[in-house]
């Protein structure tokens, strides 16, 4: 006899890809993540789509700027659990340094913000604001994985790998010279 389930059965969809640790690789990670979210039924322009895309962009940029080891790529994993309505983002690199989660006091777990006149250093503040939770863990082999989770405010309206939402299709307008 098995124990009763406390959560509804879930189905997880996964997108995993390695990228070169370059600005181009970080951009490609963001673009492919945005497309994958649409494929999973999270339309462009929604708060959830935009928030997850920004989190991917920030974590990928950090992997390139701070986690780069020459000759090594970074890895992106997106997992969508449609039963829980949860997206998990994982970005792994081979650099041993971990991002700081220490704030201004030992009991503060929020990331430390940059000085007001600094141009950089706000990426993890964005991740902290847009994700429900995030953290860092060691990975098998060298380096670490920075992860973030966001519960979607509205579940996707269609099954994964279903037909695309027609409203998100680009509109073709013939040029004046075409028939």
The residue extents of the domains of the chain are: 12-103+121-161
Burial of 24 (0-12, 13-18, 19+ CB in 10 A): exposed
**CATH class belonging to 12-103+121-161:** alpha beta
CA 35 from centroid of its chain's CA atoms = 12
pTM: 0.73
Q: Which residue has the higher pLDDT, 28 or 176?
A: 28
Q: How far apart are CA 73 and CA 85, in angstroms?
A: 30
Per-residue pLDDT reduced to its tens digit, 98-121: 886 534 344 445 555 555 555 555
Q: How far apart are CA 150 and CA 93, in angstroms?
A: 21
Q: How far apart are CA 159 and CA 80, in angstroms?
A: 12
Task: Look at 34-48, 57-71, 79-93 and tell me which has the smallest mean pLDDT.
Answer: 57-71
Q: Which residue has the higher pLDDT, 169 or 137?
A: 137
Per-residue pLDDT reduced to its tens digit, 25-57: 999 999 999 999 999 999 999 999 999 999 999
- 18 close to 75: Cβ distance less than 8 angstroms: yes
Confidence of residue 140 (pLDDT cuts 50, 70, 90): confident
């Amino acid at each position: 006899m098995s124990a009763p389930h406390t959560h509804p059965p879930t189905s997880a969809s996964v997108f995993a890809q390695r990228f070169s640790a370059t600005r181009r690789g970080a951009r490609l990670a963001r673009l492919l993540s945005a497309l994958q979210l649409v494929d999973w039924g999270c339309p462009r322009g929604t708060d959830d789509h935009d928030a997850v895309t920004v989190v991917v962009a920030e974590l990928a940029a950090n992997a390139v700027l701070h986690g780069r080891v020459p000759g090594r790529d970074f890895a992106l994993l997106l997992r969508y659990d449609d039963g829980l309505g949860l997206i998990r983002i994982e970005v792994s690199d081979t650099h041993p340094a971990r991002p700081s989660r220490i704030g201004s006091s030992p009991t503060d777990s929020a990331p430390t913000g940059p000085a007001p006149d600094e141009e950089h250093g706000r990426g993890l503040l964005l991740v902290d604001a847009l994700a429900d939770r995030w953290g860092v863990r060691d990975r098998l082999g060298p380096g670490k994985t920075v992860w973030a989770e966001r519960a979607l405010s509205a579940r996707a309206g269609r099954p994964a790998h279903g037909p695309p939402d027609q409203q998100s299709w680009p509109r073709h307008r013939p040029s004046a010279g075409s028939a």
